[in-house]
Chains A and B, each alone.
Chain A
Amino acid sequence: KAGVTQTPRYLIKTRGQQVTLSCSPISGHRSVSWYQQTPGQGLQFLFEYFSETQRNKGNFPGRFSGRQFSNSRSEMNVSTLELGDSALYLCASSQTTGANTEAFFGQGTRLTVV
């Protein structure tokens, strides 16, 4: 069974540009969550989608947005990039929802903003 696939693995963008990251969850998983990982802030929750609906959102500015398609694949978009957006962005997929649900993480997309 294929794991969570994130593309691309690495990105370099210029300040002010926008970027779209993609995540393909494990087959059959309907929940996709996104996290930002930085050395200073650690792992921070961005948002979660379940059956194409955003159910939870973390404390990030509106420049960060996402969506989920009918096949459960998800994208996140960051507009007007800032240097501080440089981070590893991790996607996690889960089969169901609730506190007991295990999340499976992708390898991440390393975004560098210059």
Chain B
Amino acid sequence: GNSVTQMEGPVTLSEEAFLTINCTYTATGYPSLFWYVQYPGEGLQLLLKATKADDKGSNKGFEATYRKETTSFHLEKGSVQVSDSAVYFCALSTATGNQFYFGTGTSLTVIP
């Protein structure tokens, strides 16, 4: 079946620290991979995506590379800001329709 495993939080970092949030997946077929972000009281916003192996998605300083050999899609940012504090969800989607499988979410707090 399809599933996403995401590192447990919460994660607390100082401003300008390096961020890594681990994500691994199990899927039938060839999924697309996504990172979504959720700010308090809001819905989910797409942060970045990758649709095939070795693709790198990037946005707002965040990056993630689709690694088929390790079935991973780890999120990284070189220097986090207070405004990056949010919950981050790793997700996959398969060719069978617009159904996303989400990880459990990782809460990030960045302190000044």
A interface, CB within 8 angstroms of B: 4, 6, 31, 33, 35, 42-43, 45, 48, 50, 55-56, 58, 90, 92, 94, 97-108
Interface secondary structure of B, over-half rule: loop
CB nearest neighbor in A for B103: A42
The 3 A-B pairs with the shortest beta carbon distances in the complex, nearest first, are A105-B43, A43-B102, A105-B44
From known contacts A99-B51, A99-B95, A101-B93, infer whether A45 and B44 are also in contact, taking CB-CB under 8 Å. no
What is the CA–CA distance of A48 and B45 in the complex, to the nearest angstrom?
19
Task: Indicate if the CB atoms of A102 and B46 lie closer than 8 Å.
Answer: yes
Task: Indicate if the CB atoms of B44 and A90 lie closer than 8 Å.
Answer: yes
Interface secondary structure of A, over-half rule: strand
What is the CA–CA distance of A56 and B96 in the complex, to the nearest angstrom?
9
Chain B neighbourhood of A35, CB < 8 A:
100, 102
What is the CA–CA distance of A14 and B36 in the complex, to the nearest angstrom?
33
